[in-house]
Amino acid sequence: MSKEKKEKMAIGVKAIPFTIVGHVLGIAGAVLVLVWVTHFRGGLAWEATNKSLIFNIHPVLMLIGLIIIGGEGIMSYKALPFKKEVKKLIHLGLHGIAIILGIVGIYAAFKYHNESSIVNLYSLHSWLGIAIISLYGIQWIYGFLVFFYPGGSTTIRSESAPWHVLFGVFVYVLAVGNAAIGLLEKLTFLESSGLAKYGPEALLVNFTAVVAILYGAFVILSVVSQPPQEDDYSAI
């Protein structure tokens, strides 16, 4: 894609202020989900007789892994003043960590279901979840093969770049939406077994989703705004 075309799709302001707000929201989201599971839901465990502790691993890893570390992976191209080779490594590394934590987080949800005799994959949230982790994996492998190793030709790289950005943003927005659905679903389960609708825990869970959505908005703002040094930003 030519530079002129790319600039038309972007807004003319610097990304740095957006990425700074993004980091702050990311830290806030991580703190909120950890406070929720530790203070209100009894903490985290991989093996336990109280199976809810196994479930708790799921929101923590999905939010901190796929959403927050994945979002940092996307923002790294616009947030950091390094050379493009360095940023590429950081981008692919953070997305690699995001996928691994996402897979372990989904495994924890299945483990909780299986050990509590609850059926698997019955909800929209779980179907979207499988689609998201699969698309995220495909995006990572394609990105790795074309932009990193062995690397496509200059034509393939420059023609792939806008698709990579579009597909990446699409999958990421889906993931943020699905995290909000997951928080809503869990809170609804808890409320139907008696949790106060306006109580502190309900507010905390809802605000965690609000913070996650705002974080996603700032990640996307970074994608459509300008890198720190114009010359330093190129796909290929």
Bond prior to 150 in cis (omega within 30° of 0) = yes
- Nearest approach, Cβ of residue 11 and ligand HEM (Å): 12
Residues 116-145 that bind ligand HEM (CB under 6 A): 120-121, 123, 125-126, 129-130, 132-133, 136, 139-140, 143-144
- Nearest approach, Cβ of residue 80 and ligand HEM (Å): 11
Among 19, 22, 44, 58, binds ligand HEM (CB under 6 A): 58
As a whole number of angstroms, the distance between CA 107 and CA 96 comes to 17
- Nearest approach, Cβ of residue 129 and ligand HEM (Å): 2
Q: What residues pair up with 226 in beta bridges, in sequence order?
A: 14
Among 19, 32, 95, 215, binds ligand HEM (CB under 6 A): 95
Return the sign of the alpha-carbon dihedral for residues 163, 165, 168, 171. Answer: negative
139-160: b (≥16 Cβ within 10 Å) or e = bbeebeebbeeeebeeeebeeb
Q: How many degrees, rounded to 5, is the angle at CA 5 between CA 4 and CA 8?
A: 90
As a whole number of angstroms, the distance between CA 109 and CA 113 comes to 6
Which of residues 49 and 140 has its CB atom nearest to ligand HEM in the complex? 140
CB 141 within 8 A of CB 25: no
Among 25, 30, 54, 235, binds ligand HEM (CB under 6 A): 235
Interface with ligand HEM (CB under 6 A)? 58-59, 62-63, 66, 74, 77-78, 88, 91-92, 95, 106, 109-110, 113, 120-121, 123, 125-126, 129-130, 132-133, 136, 139-140, 143-144, 147-148, 161, 164-165, 168-169, 171-172, 175, 178-179, 182-183, 185-186, 222-223, 234-235
